[in-house]
A and B are shown apart, each in its own frame.
Chain A
Amino acid sequence: MIDAHRQAFIEEASELLAELETTLLELESVPDDQEIIAKVFRALHTIKGSSGMFGYDDITMFTHDIESVYDYIRQGKIKITKEIIDLTLAARDQISIMLLPQGAGEDVDIKMTSKIIESFRNISNKVNKDKDQTPKIEDKSAVEITSKENFSSKTYRIIFKPSRDIYASGTNPVLLLNELYGLGDSISISKCSDIPLLENINPEKCYLSWEILLKTTKGIDAIKDVFIFVEDECELKINEFDTDNKLSKEEDFEDFRKLVYDLADLKEPDLQNLILGFESSSQQNDLLHNNFESKKTKEIPQTHHEADTVSSIRVSADKLDELVNLVGELVTIQARLSQIALSNMDPSMISVSEEVERITWSLRDSALNIRMLPIGTTFSKFKRLVRDLTKELGKEVELTTEGAETELDKTVIEKLNDPLIHIIRNSIDHGIESPVEREANNKNRVGKIQLSASQSGGNVLIKITDDGKGINKDVIKDKAVKMGLTQENSDLSDSEIFSFIFAPGFSTAKKVTNVSGRGVGMDVVRRAIDSLRGTVEVSSKLGLGTTITLKLPLTLAIIDGLLVKIEDDNFVLPLSHIEECVELSKADIEKSHGRHIVNIRGEIVPYVNLRERFDINELRPEIEQVVIADIKGMRVGFVVDSVIGQHQTVLKTLGKAYKNVEGVSGATILGDGTVALILDIIKLAEKEEFEEKNK
């Protein structure tokens, strides 16, 4: 159970750290904004407060000094400087390392930690010196649970006179007395002399006071702790009796009790006698039985209650994946049900199956929706990246973001992180010029990188735009020729040339830096985006800047597809790319003299004959179908025997054995139980184009 809390704490702390980072970066641009400072303080405060409770004492200690600096900042005693922000960011990173379970990769750099603490202490010490602050009030924990059992038993006389208004602070004096009685054996006398006449009594005031004799082994601090919340609101006297000075006279117990009752106002000498009786153990037991006001603390019944409902819950991503998988299975089964219902021609069954279909679809939508996250969380990470990189490379760059609320599947967002880092690194290193160079070119000193996200249909477009020097086509082409990627005399379009930058090992950087120039990076981007079934496009104007557009599917698990047939085999084409279907007759093929082109309303469209590509050596039917798809802005046809129709497809991977098969992105199970391959039409078109060129 504690582990679950700890998990919740780690998740929360990571969120807070992320928030802290964004807030700090915000603070850098508006250093005097009180609200932002308060936000930073609150984040630190919460991290510090909760970390100790979950056993992260190192974080508590570490955050303490940072928090005090921000407390001074909040009070206006220190001004925010770049140094403080740098330090806090470093500290933030340190804390996130501390959060990791031990032995999980990074270890906490103790030197770094102490250095950061040292710097923060220096800052706060400066204030202490400058303002000659009064020494910090020692705060004592209200509920120190330290065992002081080694104290020998001592007897105390306690006079407790609460202020009249004690109820107004929610204090119940009886509970304090009960707690006191719990410390040891005691007798107490309530003094009623201050109670006014009935007509003058205000029931909201406290008129009583108490005198208590307490024999305890816990020591005077334990007694003081009882009254810790009220010590400012009452008269409290605690005196210890000198137990060495025992009187030998034995008092009769009856007399003793009488004595207590009679004594309206206890006097010290009488008390000597009283204690003596009190300390003899047999009478002490009688004392308890006689129901003097001696009490033990009550046991609270140990019952567990149902958790209150809360507006949101945290669920581990695994469970969500499981849910989506199950929904996928359900979609498959439902397709099968529809098919059976239709073939049986039973109206009542058809209506049930339609109902199931409707519910399955809404279930699918909500299940996928649960996994959708705004992309903004990823965006905010890049602010930090840009900040660190520009510092390292001596450039000035401002990162703006747009459409942070655009939602994407969680798995897509996770896989998007690295590609985006590479692209942004590239933009800063290659794209944005140095401040001097920019000024010479009549540009603003500060370069701009814009990160924007927007949704278009079933896709999300992510654009990374910089206003740097752009990509020089000739340089790229020269390099491509050198690497043997293309011929010198080949006629290439702009986008074809730009796509070379995604080739493995391609780099035009003159020297290898920490950041880029190793030629790894852009090909990683291409591969990552491919694996997400997305596309990358580059456009650039020399001297003005570069835009890289990533087009990603909203979700990975389930896609809308077009089910087609070649002989007895079923294939699924992703519907998002498909524009129309046309017929292809033998006469059409003869007209184009065997070349793979089809004339659609006067437009020449090349096509891929899937029958040939997959070596299905049966006779072609008289009339074939061409499915026209939009591939990177080009219309390309795919020839199949027949088009069956739209089909909801649950994507299943082919497994490790077939992962190198080109042109197939996965498989799905159809309603009748047969398997259909899902075609990667972009790859297929590219391959066809490549082979055609090299003929």
Chain B
Amino acid sequence: MPKTIMTVDDSTSVRQMVGFTLKEAGYDVIEACDGKDALSKIDGANINMVVTDLNMPNMDGIELIRNLRSNPKLKFVPIIMLTTESQSEKKMEGKTAGATGWIVKPFKPEQLISVVKKVIG
């Protein structure tokens, strides 16, 4: 059974790109446009991994990570955050909140896949 990855980003084009890349690589993808959306969609779904942007309206990435980590079902799910190099503090904040790793934007599809393989095999 293919693994399911949730991508959370307020930018449609990034979401599309990430989603397409992951689907090409054989993963199932669930898309969400911000933290709130992600939480509502994650309920009941069997998620193997989350890729989230940090800067989003409604609920940002950091808060989403905290929320996910407090859910017993998702306690150990790998979470990758999308950051830009100007956000090193954010990156630390994300790590503390429980993120598994990060990808620096902009990234190429193959970089994304290599990170995904790194955390969920």
Residues of A within 8 A of B (CB): 1, 5, 8-9, 12-13, 41-42, 45-46, 48-54, 60, 64, 67-68, 71, 136-137, 139, 141-143, 145, 167-172, 175-176, 178-179, 204, 226, 228-229, 232, 297-298, 300-305, 307-308, 310
Contact = CB atoms under 8 A, between A and B. Distances in A.
A95 to B, nearest CB: 15
Contact of B88 (A139, A232, A298): A139
Given A143-B115, A145-B114, A298 B121 contact: yes
Q: Which one of B79, B85, B88 has the greatest number of beta carbons of chain A within 10 Å? A: B85
Contact of B20 (A1, A178, A226): A1
Contact of B13 (A12, A172, A301): A12
Q: Which one of A167, A172, A301 has the greatest number of beta carbons of chain B within 10 Å? A: A172
Interface string B101-121: 111111110110011011111
B98 interface: yes
A64 B105 CA distance: 11
Contacts of B56: 42
Interface residues of B, number: 56
Contacts of A307: 19, 23
A94 to B, nearest CB: 19
Contact of B121 (A54, A175, A204, A229): A175
Contacts of B106: 48-53, 60
Contact of A170 (B88, B108, B119): B119
Nearest to A48: B84
A226 B114 CA distance: 11
The 3 closest A-B pairs by CB, nearest first: A52-B106, A229-B101, A170-B100
Given A42-B55, A54-B13, A145 B110 contact: yes
A350 to B, nearest CB: 48
Nearest to A68: B86
Contact of A303 (B2, B85, B110): B2
20 contacts: A12-B13, A42-B55, A48-B105, A49-B53, A50-B105, A53-B105, A53-B108, A137-B88, A139-B85, A141-B111, A145-B108, A168-B98, A170-B119, A175-B120, A175-B121, A229-B119, A305-B26, A305-B27, A307-B19, A308-B19
A68 B119 CA distance: 31
Q: Which one of A41, A50, A167 has the greatest number of beta carbons of chain B within 10 Å? A: A50
A232 B101 CA distance: 11
B46 interface: no
A41 B54 CA distance: 13
Q: Which one of B11, B79, B115, B121 has the greatest number of beta carbons of chain A within 10 Å? A: B11
B17 A308 contact: no
A499 B98 CA distance: 69
B75 interface: yes
B17 to A, nearest CB: 5
A50 B13 contact: yes
A168 B26 contact: no
Nearest to A297: B117
A229 B13 contact: no
Interface in B20-35: 20, 23-31
Contact of B82 (A49, A171, A304): A49
Contact of B115 (A42, A142, A304, A310): A142
A54 B18 CA distance: 12
Contacts of B119: 170-172, 175, 229
B25 A45 contact: no
Given A1-B20, A53-B105, A67-B84, 11 more contacts: A9-B13, A42-B57, A51-B106, A136-B88, A142-B102, A142-B104, A143-B103, A171-B100, A302-B26, A303-B2, A305-B23
Nearest to A310: B31
A556 B70 CA distance: 55
Contacts of A51: 106
Given A49-B106, A229-B100, A8 B13 contact: yes
A68 B87 CA distance: 10
B66 interface: no
A11 to B, nearest CB: 8
Nearest to B84: A49
Contacts of A68: 86
Q: Which one of A53, A167, A175 has the greatest number of beta carbons of chain B within 10 Å? A: A53
B100 A169 contact: yes
B13 A5 contact: yes
Contact of A171 (B26, B78, B86, B88): B78
A193 B9 CA distance: 43
Nearest to A300: B26
B36 interface: no
Q: Which one of A54, A169, A172, A305 has the greatest number of beta carbons of chain B within 10 Å? A: A169
B15 to A, nearest CB: 9
A143 to B, nearest CB: 4
A150 B20 CA distance: 33
Contacts of B84: 45, 48-49, 67
A170 B95 contact: no
Contacts of A305: 2, 23, 26-29
A170 B86 contact: no
Contacts of B107: 52-53, 141, 143
A143 B114 CA distance: 7
Contacts of A145: 108, 110-111, 114
B19 to A, nearest CB: 8
B78 A8 contact: no
A170 B88 CA distance: 20
Nearest to B116: A300
B41 to A, nearest CB: 10
Given A12-B13, A71-B86, A305-B23, A142 B110 contact: no
A305 B23 CA distance: 6
Nearest to B37: A311
Nearest to B31: A308
A229 B28 contact: no
A169 B102 CA distance: 12
Contacts of A1: 20
Contact of A46 (B11, B79, B102, B121): B11
